[in-house]
Amino acid sequence: MKKSIICLIIIIISFLSGCSKNSHLKIHIIDVDQGDSILIQTPNSKNILVDGGTDDSEHIIKSYLKKHKVKSIDYIIATHPDSDHIGGLDSIIKKFQVNSVYMPEQSIDSSAYKNLIRACSNKDININYLYKGDTIKIEDYIDLLVLSPSFIQEKNNLNSIVFKLDFKNKSFLFTGDAELENENDIINSFDLEDVDFLKVGHHGSSSSTSIDFLNEITPDVAVISCGYKNQYGHPHKSTLDNLSNNEIITYRTDLSGDLVFLSDGDIIYTNNE
């Protein structure tokens, strides 16, 4: 309860301060129903698109990007080749200028994967593969560190690109559909005690977000991307209990729709209830 009160006070102070949002990092969790799509916008107007929902999500994502005046995408990160994460990316690549595409080094026999590869090939975009320990310097004060995968496995979720984005004094953790096996490897390999924001793994499934993981990373805010009354029952009660028991303020796209978070590097706030 104490942590919740402190976070709410920070949110109120942030809005009253009237700081220019041009100096802020913006995290958009786009509501693509049962899938993932995240737009990260930096203070220097770089755009990072993490995943692209399903085939049915392409119009949602296009409209969202246009609404926010996105004309080019500096980085696309396809966390893993499941169709609810990459299904709409081929359409986005066709429509927008894209500078770089990153994926795990895994190929599968699916139309979503083949369409993505074809879209990149048609625009002469090289695909870059990410592994644990890789880093990307996005701009001043913004660094990206890849935490997983260590190697490619048969199960798609276990190959999810998990990365930490550091902006000044705040850290944001994006987990794709990473599962408990990934989480254990991550907390045994990295010191993540300073994570502030968590994109919950695998749409809130019980396969992810263990108590040990949460105890290690200690986020203040968590976000779950999932569809309203989806067939998988996401988010699972055990995951919600883990988050609640750790007093982590949790937001969900199935309940709130699109979510936007901003940070000046010292605080994180949102206008969502």
pLDDT at 64: 98
pLDDT at 72: 98
Evaluate the omega torsion of the peptide bond into residue 235 and state whether it is cis, within 30 degrees of 0: yes
pLDDT at 21: 58
CA–CA distance, 36 with 51 (Å, rounded to integer): 6
pLDDT at 12: 41
pLDDT at 199: 98
pLDDT at 193: 86
Q: Which tokens belong to 79?
A: 């966390």
Domain-wise residue ranges, the chain = 23-264
CATH numeric code, 23-264: 3.60.15.10
pLDDT at 5: 46
CA–CA distance, 93 with 117 (Å, rounded to integer): 10
**Which candidate, 113, 141, 112, 144, places its Cα nearest to that of 130?**
144
With a cut of 70, list the residues of the chain below it in pLDDT. 1-21, 273
CA–CA distance, 112 with 223 (Å, rounded to integer): 25
Helix (H, G, I), strand (E, B) or coil at 189: helix
Q: Which pTM was predicted? A: 0.92
Q: Which tokens belong to 86?
A: 């990459």
Alpha-helix residue ranges (DSSP H) falling in the chain: 2-17, 58-67, 83-86, 89-95, 111-122, 180-189, 211-217, 237-245, 253-256
